[in-house]
Structure 1
Amino acid sequence: MKDWLRKHPDVRTIRVAASDLNGQARGKRIPARFADTVVSNGTRFPMSVLNLDIWGEDIDDSPLVFDSGDRDGVLKPTERGFMPMPWLDAPTALLPIWMFHENGKPYEGDPRHALRAVLDRFKARGLTPVCAVELEFFLIDDSGRTLEVPVSPRSGRRRKAAETLSIRALDQFDTFFTDLYDACEEMDIPADTAISESGLGQFEINLMHCDDALRAADDAWLFKMLVKGLARRHGFAASFMAKPYEDYSGSGLHVHFSVLDKNGDNVFDNGGPEGTDMLRYAVAGCLNAMPGSALVFAPHANSFDRMVPGSHAPTGISWAYENRTSAIRIPSGAPAARRIEHRVSGGDVNPYLMLAAVLGAAINGIEDGKEPPAPITGNAYSADLPQIPGDWKTAIDTFEGCSEIARIFSPELVRNFVLTKRQELHYMQELTPSEQVTIYLDTV
């Protein structure tokens, strides 16, 4: 890590940052000449900092604050090391960090450690998840009283229409996307295909599959930070909020995953289109945990505006082969690439918690070895299905009391997340929808 800075002598300052429960980057700015100390010894800030609400305020009744004296955690660099921050004017490096107790034990309220704990369960069985994420986001002009698609740098006009898979829509913002891909190269984020989506100024970029789920979550977290920062350099906003426009589809964050055994073979592949018993067990686990996981997949007030019938976001708990109306889709294609696509999450999720919930549910199912219900066919919206919680309060209560969630997340993380979301629910009820959009536009 220290060698990276020596190879980049123009970097004068660094940022050290960890993800809080809402996926917000929390940390410090440090002169580069003191970076060696951070690499060797880490840094410190209160444990409560990873448990702030969406406004960055303490949780009123959290035991992490006054009851414990607001004690410090020790933040150590992750395996990622230093990387540039191409959205800033001055050459700057980012050092991702995660939290530990004074005795070196991982802090269980850290969302990155929550994912690590799930991966330890796979490792104990000689299994390795392979993940890829698809991130949808909007480019938005938020300079006026209402949100609009930005003026195209090429034409000088606003194209106020949905343009699904439109090359023209991509070309209208070619300078932004060129800079974005260059920045992904600099940060070693594996950005692949970009498409225009059905929303107003909406796009999707896929990140390449990765056999290190912690790195896949890092990539998604860093990518969201990069897209939002770089858009501001181009004079507009980028937002991953679930539903910025009432009349257009919202943004999702879909994850594809398979599982490899010790020999590197895909345990979901049986040589045919239907997949193995292990695939069905993983599906069953995902379905069983879906009611309790809804708070992770839809963590904000605005999240549930996306999850309505006919909106390209699932509302019923189901699985299917090659069917995008279901919550769990088994894509077609070569058997060696047989995988599960989990389609519930909005773009506003914390990637670490989302992957922990998805993979944790899958390993629950693999451990239990139980069959799921039959796959559906046709339109899931018109089928008689058990429903994903459709409002924020129900999702909070279900998360708190779900036995499947208790197998995935530590009691401390469950408590902290519930306290956070109940505080946000209380204060969000005092705001108008437009005020809520203002809060979420840049944060999530």
Structure 2
Amino acid sequence: MSSSDHKQSPASPSHVYAAITDMNGIFRGKRVSAEKLDKLKKDGIRMPMSSIGVDIWGTDTAGTQLTMERGDLDGICEATGRGALDLGMDGPVLPLWMCKETGEPYYADGRHLLQLVLDRYKAAGLTPVVASEVEFYLLDASSDGIAPARPQVGGPPREFDNIYSLEELSDAGPFIDDLYRTAAAAGIEVDATIAEGAQRQFEFNLMHQPDALKAAENTLFLKQIIRNVARRHGYLATFMAKPYPDKAGSGLHIHFSMLDESGHNVFDDGTEKGSDIMRAAVAGLMDSMADATLIFAPHLNSYRRLSPGGLAPTTVGWGYENRTAAIRIPGGPHAARRIEHRVAGIDTNPFLVLATILGGALDGIARMLTPPEPVTSNSHELDLPKLARDWRQALERFETAESMKRILHPEFVTCFAAAKQQEQDVFAAQVTDLEIATYRLSV
């Protein structure tokens, strides 16, 4: 039998997944017959508004006052215009965003929240140009815990970190090649791939994008593609911020610049220092950063990454080519002057991260704030303002901060805080094995 006899045209999918993105960055929606795709694109679907604000386990959040209190009313989920995409599942995904019955945006939906921020940029005559760096670990699918993926025969041992190792990249080559193909078919441009600072940890860099909404979508979609392609190759992918207590965490670093209406990068003033506008953006980011820690570190595990001793920040500082700082100004050509925001973990919702970063930067520019002096040494060891030290403090700061209501939207702040409070309450109610072993006979 010739090889051509094995080649068959792929069958058209029988169904499509119509999906919103909840506040934790998880797809939720319905499986619908593919024959109804055109109708979905035109009319959307109805889903409970509460489905945007569920907690990490998919449980309704009581504090949103949207379930029993108001009859669990529906929102209207409309197609975003991106079309149905193959993200490596058994059917394409049609991305949707949620409006109220009146047609008004529902700002608990991160897409609408980011669009609100981008509308302010348009009014200011500015366009943010955004790129993201996606870090994650490949795991051994045969393990119930967190174990590095096994190498192929003759591949690099999984006991060593192997940062920037070509052997690590080569060993994962079939997975990486498949991922690039799947991403390209979905219109996602992936740039470089790096073997990161721990066993089977990788980073994919996305191309700079003058459409920040699309940049957030691409980041979210790439995470789903990574999950699905990893399973195809016998791995599991984890986007926990800190799966190993003694290894590097996984971040979602955001790079951005801004163009004026003539296409000029307003961060560039022809010098290494960068423009006054760039420094005002930096100051705006610093002014709101501690209040926004809950966005950048939304889960219990997130705070294991934001600890001294690594390259994830713990303080509110900025510097030129300083990776210990929360905000880094990379070197390179003046025309490409940009800001790198290094706080968020990969366990975040990229719509919320970009809304918060871009909103904070624009707030600093609008008020022409001035940042403190840049950090030139280890920012962990300096007397600088601190990020929230833990999940509970982060929630307390977030829900009371005037900056979050101003930069984001009060409707979102209320819903997000309620979901995080519910998640914290569930974790706090657990009696752990360590707790039992410590106290069972000793007190």
Distance 1:64 1:236 in 2: 39
Note if 1:57 corresponds to 2:59: yes
* Structure-2 residue corresponding to 1:17: 19
- Deviation at residue 94 of structure 1 after TM alignment: 1.2
* Structure-1 residue corresponding to 2:440: none
Q: SS in structure 2 opposite 1:67?
A: helix
Amino acid in the other structure paired with 2:301: N
Deviates more, 1:99-108 or 1:412-421: 99-108
Deviates more, 1:169-178 or 1:147-156: 147-156
Q: SS in structure 2 opposite 1:353?
A: helix
Verify the 8 A CA contact 1:149 1:158 in the aligned structure 2: no
5+ residue gaps in structure 1?
1-6, 436-444
- Deviation at residue 145 of structure 1 after TM alignment: 4.7
Identity of aligned residues (%): 44
5+ residue gaps in structure 2?
1-8, 435-443
Q: SS in structure 2 opposite 1:51?
A: coil
Change (3 A) 1:114 1:421: same
Distance 1:64 1:196 in 2: 44
Output one character per residue of 1:193-214: Cα deviation in whole Å (capped at 9) or x when no partner: 0000112210000000000000
Verify the 8 A CA contact 1:318 1:327 in the aligned structure 2: yes
Output one character per residue of 1:275-332: Cα deviation in whole Å (capped at 9) or x when no partner: 1110010000000000111000000000000011111100010010111010000111
Verify the 8 A CA contact 1:150 1:158 in the aligned structure 2: no
* Structure-1 residue corresponding to 2:285: 286
Matches within 5 A, 1:262-273: 262-273=261-272
Verify the 8 A CA contact 1:231 1:238 in the aligned structure 2: yes
Matches within 5 A, 1:24-43: 24-43=26-45
* Structure-2 residue corresponding to 1:367: 366
* Structure-2 residue corresponding to 1:241: 240
Output one character per residue of 1:97-123: Cα deviation in whole Å (capped at 9) or x when no partner: 000112221111111100000011110
Distance 1:127 1:9 in 2: 45
Q: SS in structure 2 opposite 1:320?
A: strand
Change (3 A) 1:223 1:145: closer
Change (3 A) 1:433 1:330: farther
Distance 1:174 1:59 in 2: 42
Note if 1:44 corresponds to 2:46: yes
Amino acid in the other structure paired with 1:403: E
Distance 1:8 1:286 in 2: 48
Deviates more, 1:146-155 or 1:113-122: 146-155
Amino acid in the other structure paired with 1:120: D
* Structure-2 residue corresponding to 1:419: 418
Distance 2:87 2:334 in 1: 39
- Deviation at residue 155 of structure 1 after TM alignment: 3.1
Note if 1:321 corresponds to 2:323: no
Distance 1:21 1:433 in 2: 27
Q: TM-score, normalised by structure 2?
A: 0.93
Q: SS in structure 2 opposite 1:210?
A: coil
Amino acid in the other structure paired with 1:31: S
Verify the 8 A CA contact 2:87 2:224 in the aligned structure 1: no
Distance 2:10 2:151 in 1: 34
* Structure-2 residue corresponding to 1:197: 196
Deviates more, 1:153-162 or 1:53-62: 153-162
* Structure-2 residue corresponding to 1:348: 347
Note if 1:105 corresponds to 2:104: yes
Distance 2:341 2:403 in 1: 17
Q: SS in structure 1 opposite 2:64?
A: coil
Verify the 8 A CA contact 1:242 1:250 in the aligned structure 2: yes
Change (3 A) 1:434 1:217: farther
Of structures 1 and 2, the larger Rg is shown by: 2
Output one character per residue of 1:407-432: Cα deviation in whole Å (capped at 9) or x when no partner: 12211110110010011011123447
Q: SS in structure 2 opposite 1:177?
A: helix
The alignment covers a number of residue pairs equal to 426
Distance 2:128 2:10 in 1: 34
Matches within 5 A, 1:6-405: 10-86=12-88, 88=89, 90=90, 92-155=91-154, 158-405=157-404
Q: TM-score, normalised by structure 1?
A: 0.93
Change (3 A) 1:431 1:173: farther
- Deviation at residue 18 of structure 1 after TM alignment: 1.1
Amino acid in the other structure paired with 1:402: A
Task: Tell me how large the CA RMSD over aligned residues is.
Answer: 1.7
Distance 1:362 1:257 in 2: 10
Distance 2:433 2:353 in 1: 27
Distance 2:146 2:309 in 1: 23
